[in-house]
Amino acid sequence: MIHDLLIACRSHNPEKLGIKAFNDTTVIDQFIHPSEREIFMGILRMIKVYQEVEQFTHSMGTQTNTLGELPDLSRGYYLLNLAKGIEVALEDYYAEITRLEKYCFGNQRTSLAHVHDALQVKLPLLVFLRNLIMEIQVLELRGCILLHNLNQQSQNGDYQLEQAMKKIIKPVKRAFFSSLAHWLLFGVIDDVHSEFFIKFTTTDAVDGSLLSKSASSSLMSAEKNPEDYIWQYEVNLEQLPGFLSVVLAEKVLFVGQTVLVFKMRRNVKVKNKTDQLAVKLAELNRDDIYQLWNGRESEFFQMVIDLCNEDTINVFRVENVINDIKNYVSTRLSEIAVNEVDLERQMALIKDFFLLGRGEFYLEFCSQMIGNMETYREERFKNVTRSFEIAATLTGISDDLDKFSLSCQRTSGEPDENSDFHFLQGLSLKYEYEWPLNLLFSPKTIERYNKIFRFLLIIRTFQYEIQRVWAKQTWKAKCMDVPLNSKIISLRNYLMFFLNNMQYYIQVDVLESQFGILLNVIKNKTDFEEIQRAHTVFLANVLSHCFLLTDSETQLNVTGCQNRNPIYGTLLKLFSICEEFARMTQTREPPDDLEAEIDRLNESFGVQIASLIQLLVDVKSASCLGPLSQLLLRLDFNHWFSASHNTSA
């Protein structure tokens, strides 16, 4: 009987047939003395706890079966390692069962009390393991979150349980730090079940079907546009363990993306095959990842392995190791970006074209795009790309424009095909940045630049068109002996005053000051992460000061006034007034009730400008935006608009 109990203490029986047989009342009545029945039932309860724990490890398939098949990984790699750790933690329990078996075989008279007392010592461990498994199953923990839970469970005052948790958490830690080392040093993540806190997401549905879930095999499929590949990695907040902060996770992401950037240098194609020097340099750059580490990859790898070999997860040491690797990578990348690529020059080009820094070029571009004064709308936007190239040739900046290309995409759902908003919202400027600036100009960053570019181009286009209204009216007065229309000239002056002040506010008060701050950071040659952070702050500040920083990424359009940013919506209404005024006064066949339409636009402009000023006052009172004060001072000098149109508003 005792031997049967000991066999049940270490055997796997999912149906618990042995316990059911022991629980049979006739068996207990016939073979168990009444004074030992409670002891016997206590042993059965301990066996039941063990079998619940053992059932979990057996379901994970920690060992290869008789056919030599690998264990099932469908539930995740971390759960498999947890089961392995539990098996290691149960070795002391198995050793105690073996000792009891030897003792029982060597002694003819053995009591159930001796077996019960020996198993009672191991009961806290079994109960702890059962509760741990139940919590993991109920909460559906997996991946790095599972590791975080185990790290918390290891913090208790029971020495026996602490020693067991060290054995349980060790294989799970090995899986975590192995993934961390491969990502930090080689930019590789083999994470089939998305258990790591860095994940790979496909952005192209067509290519995504061909991509393997293993991110290491995705690079070959992403060669169509390798610059976008690094931005398909992001922090998986659902799997971010509690002992790592979001800031530290972003640093880990940055290091891996930098390694990928160096890997991608192999894919850089030589544009001029006849340039033997360029071809030779391309051949020499086969192992650019080693250029990044400069022979120190084994040192950094050992630092991560040392973290894995510790009994517990030392949060401070993990943070120090990640910071050391990040600082080294940032310094190396900054040296290349600032010294070899001339980052200051690249940012100057960004300012010249994305932020309309070349005023003479964009004046010529508007002239070529709009056309001559005789044809206003019918043929002016036929070939905007050609207008862009002609403007570059006439202003003598074709060499600087080699890295930029303008494209126009037609948008659907616009009520008016001739609308300026309908056309300008489809313009997009593409920038071919140099390696290794991939980390600075992500697709989202380029889209934000395009958002500012379209906004500034709308203002510049309307400035040109409103100026042409004055030119046409004065030409009629001189050549056709027609008196100037005072209402048209007056509204034209109001609209031009508004557009000029908006342009000056954005170009001088916002862009110049923010761009100067960014250049100072670049000139100081700090680590690349500081440059990246300063660049992000620069874009965020410009978008905020230009009232474009909204939750939605909708483009500018005349029907998009229902935006979460009321200032942005009011500006669109004012732009639509400018567009309607230019169309009305420039068309070949003006409306019969032109005077009434001008009065209507004048009244509408007064209402909207007063609304804009009131919104700006409210924003200014709720914040400390210095440039906004300058805009209010110029736009509503001596309270001209706010006092004149207060009643209408």
Residue 44 has pLDDT above 50, yes or no: yes
The predicted structure's pLDDT at residue 246: 92
CB 62 within 8 A of CB 71: yes
Average pLDDT over residues 25-54: 74
Mean pLDDT taken over the chain: 77
Average pLDDT over residues 284-305: 75
Taking Cα atoms as reference points, which of 258, 324, 323 lies closest to residue 291?
258
- Residue 649 to residues 131, 286, 608: CA-CA distances in angstroms? 67, 67, 8
pLDDT band at residue 273 using 50, 70 and 90 as cut-offs: very low
CATH code for the domain defined by 344-644 = 1.20.120.1900
Dig out the tokens for 561 from the structure.
């006034």
Please tell me what DSSP assigns to residue 12. -
Task: Output 246 or 616, whichever has higher pLDDT.
Answer: 246
Residues of the chain with CATH 1.20.120.1900: 344-644
Report the run of H or E that residue 233 belongs to, with start and end: strand 233-235
Residue 25 has pLDDT above 70, yes or no: no
- Strand, coil or helix: what is 104? helix
pLDDT band at residue 210 using 50, 70 and 90 as cut-offs: very low
The predicted structure's pLDDT at residue 419: 59
Give pLDDT tens digits for 225-242.
556 678 888 899 999 999
Residue 221 has pLDDT above 80, yes or no: no
Distance, first Cα to last Cα, the chain: 96
Give pLDDT tens digits for 163-209.
899 999 999 999 999 999 999 988 888 888 888 999 988 765 334 33
Cβ neighbourhood burial of 206 (10 Å; 0-12, 13-18, 19+) = exposed
The predicted structure's pLDDT at residue 374: 46
The predicted structure's pLDDT at residue 400: 78
Please tell me whether the overall predicted TM-score, pTM, comes out greater than 0.75 for this model: no
Spatial distance between the Cα atoms of 517 and 510, rounded to a whole number of angstroms: 11
Residue type, 366: C
Give pLDDT tens digits for 356-415.
888 888 888 888 877 644 454 545 555 788 888 888 888 888 877 888 888 877 555 444
Please tell me what DSSP assigns to residue 234. E
CB 86 within 8 A of CB 57: yes
Please compute, for residue 412, the number of CA atoms within 13 A of its CA located in the half-sphere on the CB side.
Answer: 0
CB 313 within 8 A of CB 243: yes
Percent of all residues in the chain with a pLDDT value above 70, rounded to a whole number: 72
Tokens 């290891």 sit at which residue? 154
Residue type, 403: K
Average pLDDT over residues 98-118: 76
The predicted structure's pLDDT at residue 50: 86
Cβ neighbourhood burial of 44 (10 Å; 0-12, 13-18, 19+) = middle
